[in-house]
């Protein structure tokens, strides 16, 4: 069966449930009426209605009966059907009209609705039905008897009768749809929203975080269990990768130290300088790999830290190397300190990478600005070639993203910054510096000043 609304399981379920409830109510109602049967009331009323449609006024002022198709059908369906139609002056009859009914037609009194019942002990059956109907300015009495529906016939007639069936069906359908469309989606979607909210906390930085299965609906538990097992497999693979990365970085530090020592034995100064540059680049890569491995594997120690002091001290530590390279360093911060909850070690690693990255891309004799704002945002600004020109639109947050293969950078600095930002639920943005250059911002959540 096609879904009613492909985009919403809850809405589809609500509409389907409303439809099913309506069908059940309709079926119950018709079944009840069919089981109760017809003691003559339904059939004789329908026959009297057909007789009313057959009445015509003559030019002489009396009336005549010209049977319509419905009345002819009732006459064929019920062989014992009889009726007597009278206005006190003229009467028309059909079938075996009882003598007492014929005698009553000769005594005209102000017409009133009437019924006749046959009583046998505790049971009672409609014997005849009398209806008073208008015909222009006159009043006609229709008395009918000898007709009763079977269970099948009454079911068919109830479904065909628009007045007694269609209107109640529409009312029930509308009311049921309104209730189910409002209530059912909320009932169905509530546990799904709880699971979705729990899934939002799975960010890849906290191993072992799983979707809760205890209070989940039975229908969702297989999906949640399968999802959690997939997370277990992902965590296992990721842990293996991190261990390999950490071990490889550690193992490389010793041969790098030995190579650095043996450089002094190289007689060619030019070759010695080239080898020293390569070893320095390889050492920087190893250091970055270790930092990345620690950030993604070791739980961070979160505490209240003074972001202004931490950034100021780090800028002061990095300033000598930048000044030696012919660059100008500037630190800007508000007068009041800015506090955040975070890992001082992780933030130091991220900001150190940003400052070194800015120094690498800033032109010689250029300027690097480190800025702390009261809103908890830290910006590192350079005035070099600009991120768009350097990376040609590539994703600079991915590991090993570099401006070119000949670049001296490791391509890991911004990836580490992204890891630190994710650890602190902070936002990272890269923008062009007005006039040329790159501005990298990390937006932390500030704490209120005590």
| Predicted pLDDT of residue 4 | 42
Highest mean pLDDT out of 233-247, 360-374, 396-410: 360-374
Strand order in the sheet with 114-120: 91-94, 82-86, 138-145, 123-135, 114-120
| Residue 186 binned pLDDT confidence (cut-offs 50, 70, 90) | confident
Pair of tokens at residue 54: 């057959």
| Residue 444 binned pLDDT confidence (cut-offs 50, 70, 90) | very high
8 A C-beta contact, residue 86 and residue 105? yes
The string of pLDDT tens digits covering residues 270-285 is: 877 777 777 766 776 6
Q: What is the pTM of this model?
A: 0.46
What letter does residue 142 receive in the DSSP assignment? E
DSSP per residue, 334-361: -SS--EEEE-HHHHHHHHHHHHHHHHHH
Q: Taking residues 306-317, what's their average pLDDT?
A: 92
Pair of tokens at residue 3: 């879904």
In this predicted structure, the answer to whether residue 400 has a pLDDT above a threshold of 60 is no
8 A C-beta contact, residue 71 and residue 50? yes
| Predicted pLDDT of residue 404 | 47
- Cα–Cα distance measured from residue 144 to residue 131, given in angstroms and rounded to the nearest whole number: 8
Write down the mean pLDDT value for the chain. Answer: 75
In this predicted structure, the answer to whether residue 191 has a pLDDT above a threshold of 90 is no
| Residue 118 binned pLDDT confidence (cut-offs 50, 70, 90) | low
Question: 222 Cβ partners below 8 Å, 6+ apart?
Answer: none
The string of pLDDT tens digits covering residues 166-176 is: 566 667 667 77
| Predicted pLDDT of residue 288 | 63
| Predicted pLDDT of residue 348 | 86
DSSP per residue, 378-416: EEEEE-SS-HHHHHTT--TTSTT--S-TT-SS-S-HHHH
| Predicted pLDDT of residue 231 | 84
| Residue 360 binned pLDDT confidence (cut-offs 50, 70, 90) | confident
- Read off φ and ψ for residue 258, nearest 5 degrees: -65, -45
DSSP per residue, 76-130: HH-TT-EEEEE-SS-EEEES---HHHHHHHHS--S---EEEEEEETTEEEEEEEE
In this predicted structure, the answer to whether residue 336 has a pLDDT above a threshold of 80 is yes
Pair of tokens at residue 198: 């729990």
| Residue 148 binned pLDDT confidence (cut-offs 50, 70, 90) | confident
| Residue 387 binned pLDDT confidence (cut-offs 50, 70, 90) | low
| Residue 376 binned pLDDT confidence (cut-offs 50, 70, 90) | very high
Question: 418 Cβ partners below 8 Å, 6+ apart?
Answer: 397, 428
Dihedral over Cα of 40, 113, 75, 152: its sign: negative
| Predicted pLDDT of residue 338 | 93
Burial class (CB in 10 A: 0-12, 13-18, 19+), 149: buried
Helix (H) or strand (E) holding 268: none
Pair of tokens at residue 190: 């509530």
Q: Taking residues 311-334, what's their average pLDDT?
A: 89
In this predicted structure, the answer to whether residue 391 has a pLDDT above a threshold of 50 is no
Q: Is the pLDDT higher at 152 or at 259?
A: 259
Question: 352 Cβ partners below 8 Å, 6+ apart?
Answer: 314, 318
8 A C-beta contact, residue 146 and residue 81? yes
75-93 core/surface letters (b: 16 or more CB in 10 A; e: else): beebeebbbbbbbbeebbb
8 A C-beta contact, residue 18 and residue 177? yes
Q: Taking residues 138-153, what's their average pLDDT?
A: 79
| Predicted pLDDT of residue 167 | 65
In this predicted structure, the answer to whether residue 310 has a pLDDT above a threshold of 90 is yes
Pick from 51-55, 108-112, 273-277: least confident: 108-112
| Predicted pLDDT of residue 315 | 92
- Cα–Cα distance measured from residue 24 to residue 175, given in angstroms and rounded to the nearest whole number: 14
The two counts, helices (H) then strands (E), for the chain are 12, 14
| Predicted pLDDT of residue 405 | 45
């Amino acid at each position: 069966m096609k879904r009613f609304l492909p985009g919403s399981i809850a809405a589809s379920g609500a509409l389907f449930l409303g439809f099913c409830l309506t069908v059940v109510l309709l079926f119950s109602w018709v079944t009840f009426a069919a089981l109760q049967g017809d003691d003559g009331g339904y059939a004789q009323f329908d026959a009297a209605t057909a007789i009313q449609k057959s009445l015509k006024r003559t030019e002489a002022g009396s009336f005549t009966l010209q049977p319509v198709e419905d009345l002819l059908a009732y006459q064929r369906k019920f062989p014992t059907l009889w009726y007597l139609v009278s206005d006190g002056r003229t009467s028309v009859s059909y079938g075996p009209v009882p003598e007492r009914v014929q005698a009553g037609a000769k005594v005209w009194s102000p017409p009133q609705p009437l019924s006749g019942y046959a009583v046998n002990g505790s049971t009672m059956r409609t014997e005849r039905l009398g209806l008073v109907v208008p015909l222009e300015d006159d009043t006609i009495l229709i008395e009918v008897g000898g007709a009763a529906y079977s269970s099948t016939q009454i079911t068919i007639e109830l479904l065909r009768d628009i007045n007694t069936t269609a209107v109640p069906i529409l009312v029930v359908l509308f009311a049921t749809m309104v209730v189910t469309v409002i209530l059912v989606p909320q009932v169905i979607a509530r546990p799904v929203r709880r699971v979705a909210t729990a899934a939002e906390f799975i960010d890849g930085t906290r191993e072992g975080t799983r979707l809760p299965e205890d209070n989940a609906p039975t229908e969702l538990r297989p999906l949640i269990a399968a999802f959690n097992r997939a997370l277990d497999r992902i965590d296992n693979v990721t842990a293996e990768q991190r261990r390999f990365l950490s071990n490889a970085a550690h193992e490389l530090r010793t041969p790098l130290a030995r190579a650095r020592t043996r450089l002094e034995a190289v007689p060619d100064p030019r070759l010695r300088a080239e080898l020293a540059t390569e070893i320095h680049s390889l050492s920087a890569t190893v250091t970055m790999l270790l930092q990345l491995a620690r950030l993604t594997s070791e739980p961070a120690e979160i505490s209240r830290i003074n972001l202004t002091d931490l950034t100021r001290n780090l800028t002061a530590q990095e300033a000598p190397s930048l000044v030696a390279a012919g660059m100008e360093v500037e630190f800007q911060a508000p007068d009041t300190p800015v506090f955040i909850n975070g890992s001082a070690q992780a933030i130091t690693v991220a900001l150190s990478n940003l400052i070194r990255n800015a120094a690498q891309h800033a032109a010689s004799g250029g300027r690097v600005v480190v800025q702390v704002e009261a809103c908890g945002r830290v910006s590192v600004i350079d005035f070099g070639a600009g991120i768009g020109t350097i990376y040609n639109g590539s994703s600079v947050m991915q590991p090993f993203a570099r401006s070119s293969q000949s670049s001296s950078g490791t391509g890991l600095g911004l990836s580490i910054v992204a890891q630190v930002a994710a650890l602190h639920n902070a936002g990272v943005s890269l923008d062009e510096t007005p006039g040329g250059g790159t501005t990298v911002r990390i937006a932390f959540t500030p704490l209120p000043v005590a």
